[in-house]
A and B are shown apart, each in its own frame.
Chain A
Amino acid sequence: MKPTLRRVFLASLLRRRLATALSLLAIALGVALGLAVQLIHAAALDEFGRGVRLLSGSADLQLVGPREGFDEAIYPLLAGRPEVADASPLLEVEARLPGREDTLTVLGVDIFRIAAVQPALLPRAEVGADVGAGRSLLALEPDRLFLSEAARDALSTPAVDSDGRPLPPALAEGRLALQSGVRSHRLRVAGSLPGSSAALAVMDIGAAQQLFGRIGVLSRVDLALREGVTPQAAIAALSPLLPPGVSLREPEAAATEVGTLSRAYRVNLTMLAAIALLTGGFLVFSTQLLSVARRRREFALLRALGLERGELMRGLLAEGAAVGLGGGLGGVVLGHLLAGAAFRLVGADLGAGFFDGLSPQLSFDPVLAAAYLLLGVAAGVAGTWLPAREAARAAPAQALRAGASERSGLLQPRRRGPAALAAGGLAALACLLPPVYGIPLGGYAAVVLVLFAAVAALPALARALLPLLGRGRSALWRLAHARLSATPGQAVVAGAGVIASVALATAMSIMVSSFRVSVDDWLGQLLPADLYVRASSAAASGYLDAQAVARIAALDGVADIGTTRLVNLRLSDEEPVFSVLSRVVGGGWGLPLIAGSKEVPAGAALPPVWVSEAAADRHRLALGDRFELPIGGRMEGFVVAGIWRDYARQYGAAVLSAHDYVRLTGDTRINDVAVRVAPGHELSAVAERVRALFGPEHVRIALPGEIRAATLEIFDRTFLITYLMEAVAVVIGLFGIATTFAALSTTRQGEFGMLRHLGLTRGEIGRLIALEGAITAALGVVAGLLAGGAIGWVLIEVINRQSFHWSMDLAVPWRPLALFALTLVALAALVARLAGARAMRRSAVLAVKADW
């Protein structure tokens, strides 16, 4: 077997170098994409986990709650419990640097507490700081802050402002300004944080509470448990003491939570990679099928000479495995390169914003690499399976008969019509399945089934469509038409890759286009004002208090204002992020409702809540339902008065009326003020007045158009990776055309030689091949467009709904799709012609002589 394997089977791969190389490349791309997605995510999670471990130190448990923090009253309660050895309270603030785009993470710590729990946060005073002014308790001083080296580096480099103008470094002469509300506070850098690698600052917790207006609020309490108390036991004992919206978790769970948050996005990318790999498998299938057909007599001879059926089968599978192995190896290398490049170019979250500010390191994971290598081999073997079985089953005597080669180029697959119908039906059923752990498995199954149905239906489609194309007078057209009408199987083999890639690209572009149009529309509804004022992003330390809001309202030229307060709640460990917006609901301050109304239901005993689609999906809410939120430290009941479309917060959001929110929480802070400008006043003049009111470095003023542009830019960046994957899929699809035609040009040398005898020029042979390629591709493109439309629908109505819980209006990008289809057909013609170049080069004389 060994020499046979080498000389007969593996050597055959070398003889058809182009086809082998393309199959290999396709598998490599599929493996690389999948692996890269995995690597990037693993590295990002790793880095995130490292950060968590560093910051939580030796804490056994963490008390976590809403992003805005929770009432500190729970802290002494927990610290005094017998289960708890040490408790360290923290206040985490994203401090806005006035006039700048970036923020600084400031941790307010109790220096007496962190030593035992989070030693990485221990500050070290700068030797020689303020020498001679007496001695004291430097780390407790309210105007002092300690910077990690990373933070110091970042703050010491010159920056640019939102308009791209250069700014001096934020940190100068040991002083740093931080913004709280609409005011700046200058702090002195008193030293460093030798234990911390992240970019952060530490200051006294009491000072931080005062500075940032967070008196009585903590973000986290880290607990070290007493000897012999397990985290589980402690959670069981302590949880009953906790107020709503606050929970205890092990520090490692933070990474898991982020993993859960980004899971849907990651799974979607992995699925795209899987489709690339599937296309690679198709490609192996088509090249092997053709290669086996061409070598039929060779195999018949070998079988006649005593090669066993099993040996033949194994030999062919080894060919596929070799291609898969080569592709897998290449893919593993390429995957690492891709991941590395992605880190540099788009960041660890692939542009999706889950891991802001992390700088993860790419690391080699042998198990993961081996798994993806195996996937590559599996794709190669699976692609070879059917052709190998066919070859092994063939009766040698029949294949050896003269003239058999005439038929070898003809692929007549069994009729798959029923299979296509069945797959389509199953796909429809799969769409009805609910998601599994938030992953729309049914939707993905439907995608695969639709793809299968499209491939299986291709011969039937060819039979149905080709007669419609009619018969031109051109001999080439008639030849190509006749050839494809007679051998729809060829279309399947060559076009399967095209179907998969076109379907994918079509589906994605329909989805992205629908999404983009819907987002644009939604922004229009959401931003009815003339300009928007905010002190910083909602997550950072800038805010507007009631007085600031009143001053804006009183400005000359301001007709009307609407305010928004955004806070994030923690509903449970499974639902760690839930946004609450407190705002005015009526009065033309837009809310893109899809159900219910902006009016408060008459006679309702509970205050109204307007929930986002995601919230309605995740919490199974309908109009009129009761919905409880942990707000103001209590569980408060609301009645669902409306459901609105929200593309900003996939974990769910709820709008409360500002009146109810302030009544329940006492929180009068405002994140955004929407301003309607009175008629006859210039927008820019009003904006200038607002800036002058607070100092231009303390407020950001955005026009709806700018917000829209920025949002759409983020949108486009998020989908950049999917465009790249589409491009890869299209390239793989074209490979399918190339390999098929390269192989066909070999089997059809006799035919081309005869045609040359009959008077076709070399150029006409080339055009014939190009025409066949174009028609094949066109069939594949039509099938792909149809499948893509179906998959697009599945993406919009099933996968997006189930993963991200948002609906969108269908918007098919007709013109780009048509252009894409035509381009692909033209490219396919070119590729087929290039691949078939051998047929044109070969001497017509020799071609008619050779029988096979």
Chain B
Amino acid sequence: MQSEVGMTKSLMRASLTTFVLAVALLVGAIGASRAQQAAPYPPVVPGVALQFPRDLGAHPDFRTEWWYITGWLKDEAGVERGFQLTFFRVRTRIGEDNPSRFAPRQLVLAHAAVADPQTGRLRHAERSARAFEGLAGAGAGHTAVRIGDWFLRDETGQGQTYRTRIEAADFAFELDFEAGEPPVKNGRGGYSQKAADPKHASHYYSRPWLAVRGTLALDGGARPVEGHAWLDHEWSSELMPDGARGWDWIGINLHGGGSLMAFRMRDGEARALWTAVTLREGGAEHRDQGPAVVEFRPLRHWRSPRTEVEYPVEWALRLDTPAGARELRLRPLFDDQELDSRASTGAIYWEGAVRLFELREGAETEIGQGYLEMTGYAERLRM
């Protein structure tokens, strides 16, 4: 009885959160008068060298920034599940002249999700807050983001280890990550162009093959888990070009120890506007960006029973590398990995654990595990 009551209360709070934040963040319009006073968002330009560990921390002048961890966990019984954890930082340009600690200059939002095949859909939770010292914020200099007791932190400050703890109504995890290698800079030295116009770009590095160890709790007790994860850290001021509706992105840890990052920016007719790829495999590194450096071709669609949105959940990927063309296939851990985050970032998207297969001589061989993100299928993604 007690727990039922507690559950109801938590759910009620969660749904209320959803309501208010949708109201707060998505309805209405900006006041023109205010924007003139605050300093503009700095542009992302090529040629800025990323420095670590400094750039592991926040870049509060930029408009949007995220730390994005996806990965696969295996428990003692050998069950494989996906998990995802994102901290967003948003500079509002509101109240920058306000000495109040409550001035909403920076907002922090967070999503966390567990893809459990047995559940058949994502368990997810979200939080949002204004940055407030001691309660919520994204620290500069090294990775340290938090909202209340949800956090992602570089414990040593050297970019070698991360730690997170998430407690939600119907799941919880507490995980330690260990990086085996230095960050991988995407694009040109971490300058990741998103459209033909170079002003649409982000600073972007990835950390594939983070070794994960920790506990995961679904219904009831926590179980030890281990696996591998992928961290993206990206900051930008003007990410999406006009005419773009969303993107498709993958981050895959290849079984052989390599990694593959690829995305394409899509227009309203699902045509590629811009693409990019970073492939590291067997000591070789292939990086490219351009209107069509990687081809995304949908193979199978799935329609969400909740939102009626249709997502291509299986893909054929083709990328041309100096070593020749690669024919790849993406298949989800399970179909329903839709994430409705209208309460915090305001988007409905698909964010799920996938396996990567390579087509060799007519046969598919699994070559990696990772995550696929597909945005802009419900409506144009707004950032």
Contacts A76-B132, A76-B134, A129-B28 aside, 9 further interface pairs with beta carbons under 8 A come to A80-B149, A111-B20, A130-B29, A130-B30, A131-B29, A142-B98, A143-B31, A206-B100, A227-B3
Task: Tell whether A345 is near chain B: CB-to-CB under 8 Å.
Answer: no
CB proximity of B224 to chain A, nearest CB, Å? 24
- Residue from A58, A129, A133, A206 having most chain B Cβ neighbours under 10 A: A206
Q: Nearest chain-B residue to A108 (Cβ)?
A: B102
A133→B30 contact, CB < 8 A: yes
A215→B99 contact, CB < 8 A: yes
Complex A-B, nearest 6 residue pairs according to Cβ-Cβ distance, in ascending order: A138-B28, A136-B30, A206-B102, A115-B20, A76-B134, A206-B103
B148→A135 contact, CB < 8 A: no
Q: A76-B132, A110-B102, A134-B30 are in contact. Are A140 and B94 (CB under 8 A)?
A: yes
The contact of B100 among A139, A209, A228, by CB within 8 Å, is A209
Stretch from A116-124, A456-464, A672-680, A691-699 forming part of the interface with B: A116-124
Q: A110-B130, A204-B104 are in contact. Are A122 and B20 (CB under 8 A)?
A: yes
* Alpha-carbon distance between A77 and B132 when the two chains are bound, in angstroms: 12
Q: A116-B17, A137-B25 are in contact. Are A210 and B128 (CB under 8 A)?
A: no
Task: Tell whether A114 is near chain B: CB-to-CB under 8 Å.
Answer: yes
What are the residues of chain B within 8 A of A206 when measuring CB–CB?
95, 98, 100-104, 130
* Alpha-carbon distance between A125 and B149 when the two chains are bound, in angstroms: 30
Interface residue ranges of B104-136 to A (CB < 8 Å): 104, 107, 128-130, 132-135
Task: Tell whether A387 is near chain B: CB-to-CB under 8 Å.
Answer: no
Q: A141-B94, A209-B100 are in contact. Are A129 and B29 (CB under 8 A)?
A: yes
A/B interface sample: 27 pairs, CB < 8 A:
A72-B101, A76-B134, A79-B148, A108-B102, A110-B102, A111-B21, A112-B128, A112-B130, A115-B17, A123-B23, A126-B28, A127-B27, A130-B28, A134-B32, A136-B31, A137-B94, A138-B27, A141-B31, A141-B34, A142-B34, A191-B28, A204-B102, A206-B98, A207-B100, A210-B98, A210-B100, A215-B100
CB proximity of A78 to chain B, nearest CB, Å? 10
CB proximity of B193 to chain A, nearest CB, Å? 25
Task: Tell whether A59 is near chain B: CB-to-CB under 8 Å.
Answer: no
Task: Tell whether A489 is near chain B: CB-to-CB under 8 Å.
Answer: no
A125→B27 contact, CB < 8 A: yes
What are the residues of chain B within 8 A of A224 when measuring CB–CB?
13
CB proximity of B234 to chain A, nearest CB, Å? 21
Task: Tell whether A190 is near chain B: CB-to-CB under 8 Å.
Answer: yes
What are the residues of chain A within 8 A of B129 when measuring CB–CB?
112-113
A227→B95 contact, CB < 8 A: no
A89→B102 contact, CB < 8 A: yes
What are the residues of chain A within 8 A of B13 when measuring CB–CB?
86, 115-116, 224
B31→A115 contact, CB < 8 A: no
Task: Tell whether B156 is near chain A: CB-to-CB under 8 Å.
Answer: no
Size bracket of the B interface: 35 or more
What are the residues of chain A within 8 A of B100 when measuring CB–CB?
205-207, 209-210, 215-216
Interface residue ranges of B58-82 to A (CB < 8 Å): none
Q: Nearest chain-A residue to B382 (Cβ)?
A: A135
What are the residues of chain B within 8 A of A188 when measuring CB–CB?
31
CB proximity of B166 to chain A, nearest CB, Å? 15
The contact of B19 among A110, A113, A115, A132, by CB within 8 Å, is A115
What are the residues of chain B within 8 A of A115 when measuring CB–CB?
13, 16-17, 19-21
B101→A216 contact, CB < 8 A: yes
Q: Nearest chain-A residue to B30 (Cβ)?
A: A136
What are the residues of chain A within 8 A of B103 when measuring CB–CB?
206-207, 210
Task: Tell whether B6 is near chain A: CB-to-CB under 8 Å.
Answer: yes
B24→A138 contact, CB < 8 A: yes
Task: Tell whether B92 is near chain A: CB-to-CB under 8 Å.
Answer: yes
What are the residues of chain A within 8 A of B98 when measuring CB–CB?
142, 206-207, 209-210
What are the residues of chain B within 8 A of A142 when measuring CB–CB?
34, 94-95, 98
Q: Nearest chain-A residue to B6 (Cβ)?
A: A227
Task: Give A205-241 as 1s and 0s: 1 = Cβ < 8 Å from B's Cβ atoms.
Answer: 1110110000110000000100110000000000000
Task: Tell whether B307 is near chain A: CB-to-CB under 8 Å.
Answer: no
B23→A135 contact, CB < 8 A: no
B20→A114 contact, CB < 8 A: yes
Q: Nearest chain-B residue to A87 (Cβ)?
A: B135
Task: Tell whether A144 is near chain B: CB-to-CB under 8 Å.
Answer: yes
Task: Tell whether B36 is near chain A: CB-to-CB under 8 Å.
Answer: no
What are the residues of chain B within 8 A of A111 when measuring CB–CB?
20-21, 24
What are the residues of chain A within 8 A of B92 when measuring CB–CB?
136-137, 140
* Alpha-carbon distance between A135 and B35 when the two chains are bound, in angstroms: 12
Which A residues are closer than 8 A to B by beta carbons?
58, 72, 76-77, 79-80, 86, 89, 108, 110-116, 119, 122-127, 129-144, 188, 190-191, 204-207, 209-210, 215-216, 224, 227-228
What are the residues of chain A within 8 A of B149 when measuring CB–CB?
80
The contact of B29 among A80, A133, A210, by CB within 8 Å, is A133
B29→A207 contact, CB < 8 A: no
Task: Tell whether B51 is near chain A: CB-to-CB under 8 Å.
Answer: no
Q: Nearest chain-A residue to B15 (Cβ)?
A: A115
* Alpha-carbon distance between A123 and B23 when the two chains are bound, in angstroms: 8
* Alpha-carbon distance between A124 and B19 when the two chains are bound, in angstroms: 10
CB proximity of B45 to chain A, nearest CB, Å? 24
* Alpha-carbon distance between A114 and B23 when the two chains are bound, in angstroms: 13
CB proximity of B76 to chain A, nearest CB, Å? 28
A132→B23 contact, CB < 8 A: no
* Alpha-carbon distance between A130 and B30 when the two chains are bound, in angstroms: 8
The contact of A140 among B2, B16, B24, B99, by CB within 8 Å, is B24
Q: A79-B135, A142-B98, A216-B101 are in contact. Are A132 and B24 (CB under 8 A)?
A: no
What are the residues of chain B within 8 A of A116 when measuring CB–CB?
13, 16-17
* Alpha-carbon distance between A545 and B14 when the two chains are bound, in angstroms: 44
CB proximity of A55 to chain B, nearest CB, Å? 16
* Alpha-carbon distance between A133 and B26 when the two chains are bound, in angstroms: 14
What are the residues of chain B within 8 A of A58 when measuring CB–CB?
9
The contact of A76 among B17, B31, B133, by CB within 8 Å, is B133
What are the residues of chain B within 8 A of A123 when measuring CB–CB?
23-24
What are the residues of chain B within 8 A of A136 when measuring CB–CB?
28-31, 92, 94
CB proximity of B105 to chain A, nearest CB, Å? 8
CB proximity of A202 to chain B, nearest CB, Å? 11
CB proximity of B64 to chain A, nearest CB, Å? 13
What are the residues of chain A within 8 A of B28 when measuring CB–CB?
125-126, 129-130, 135-136, 138-139, 190-191
Q: A122-B20, A227-B6 are in contact. Are A138 and B29 (CB under 8 A)?
A: yes
What are the residues of chain A within 8 A of B95 when measuring CB–CB?
140, 142, 204, 206-207, 210
What are the residues of chain B within 8 A of A76 when measuring CB–CB?
132-135
A205→B23 contact, CB < 8 A: no
What are the residues of chain A within 8 A of B102 when measuring CB–CB?
72, 89, 108, 110, 204-206, 209
Q: A115-B20, A129-B28 are in contact. Are A137 and B104 (CB under 8 A)?
A: yes
A134→B29 contact, CB < 8 A: yes
The contact of B21 among A112, A143, A227, by CB within 8 Å, is A112
B29→A132 contact, CB < 8 A: yes
What are the residues of chain A within 8 A of B2 when measuring CB–CB?
227-228
Q: Nearest chain-B residue to A114 (Cβ)?
A: B20
Q: A111-B20, A206-B95, A210-B98 are in contact. Are A135 and B29 (CB under 8 A)?
A: yes
What are the residues of chain A within 8 A of B17 when measuring CB–CB?
115-116
CB proximity of A159 to chain B, nearest CB, Å? 28
* Alpha-carbon distance between A173 and B31 when the two chains are bound, in angstroms: 16
* Alpha-carbon distance between A134 and B36 when the two chains are bound, in angstroms: 13
* Alpha-carbon distance between A188 and B20 when the two chains are bound, in angstroms: 20
* Alpha-carbon distance between A126 and B28 when the two chains are bound, in angstroms: 7
* Alpha-carbon distance between A142 and B31 when the two chains are bound, in angstroms: 10
What are the residues of chain A within 8 A of B101 when measuring CB–CB?
72, 206, 216
* Alpha-carbon distance between A673 and B71 when the two chains are bound, in angstroms: 67
CB proximity of B107 to chain A, nearest CB, Å? 8
The contact of A137 among B20, B24, B132, by CB within 8 Å, is B24
Q: A137-B94, A209-B100, A210-B99 are in contact. Are A143 and B130 (CB under 8 A)?
A: no
* Alpha-carbon distance between A47 and B17 when the two chains are bound, in angstroms: 28
* Alpha-carbon distance between A214 and B3 when the two chains are bound, in angstroms: 41
The contact of B31 among A79, A119, A130, A205, by CB within 8 Å, is A130
